[in-house]
Amino acid sequence: MANIENQKFIALDISGKNYLSWILDMKLHLNAKKFRHTIDENNAASNDECVTALIFLRYHIDDSLKYEYLTVENPLELWQNLNDRFEHLKAVVLPKALND
């Protein structure tokens, strides 16, 4: 996975204010890199694929979030933790966007 260290989009903010755009960007980039399956339930990803996806995920989150989830060693677990933390923002942001 060449150039994984190059940040392709804005990192997920600690407040989650960019969560909706971040999650879409992350899914698209993981798809393009052929690592989307690493964040799916019951995936059969190899250890190398998981490590690469985890590096990519961690590179695109705020440093405070990296520290908070320091012990997470599985991309699916990190994905679910972030979703649990910020999913409620969809209910706040989407209805507002529909009214604009």
Cβ(86)–Cβ(19) below 8 Å: yes
Per-residue pLDDT of the chain (100 residues; tens, 9 = 90+): 455 555 567 999 999 989 999 999 999 999 999 999 999 999 999 999 999 999 999 999 999 999 999 999 999 999 999 999 998 876 655 555 555 5
Question: Is there a domain that residue 33 lies in?
Answer: no
d(CA 95, CA 98): 5
Does residue 26 lie in a domain region?
A: no
Instruction: Write out the residue range of the structural domain in which residue 68 sits.
Output: 62-90
Q: Which residues, in sequence order, are bridge partners of residue 61?
A: 12
How many structural domains are present in the chain?
Answer: 1
> Looking at the domain assignment, is residue 28 inside a domain?
no
In a domain, 32, yes or no: no
Please tell me the pTM assigned to this model. Answer: 0.81
Q: What is the distance between the alpha carbons of residues 78 and 76, in angstroms, rounded to a whole number?
A: 5
Residue 35 located in a structural domain: no
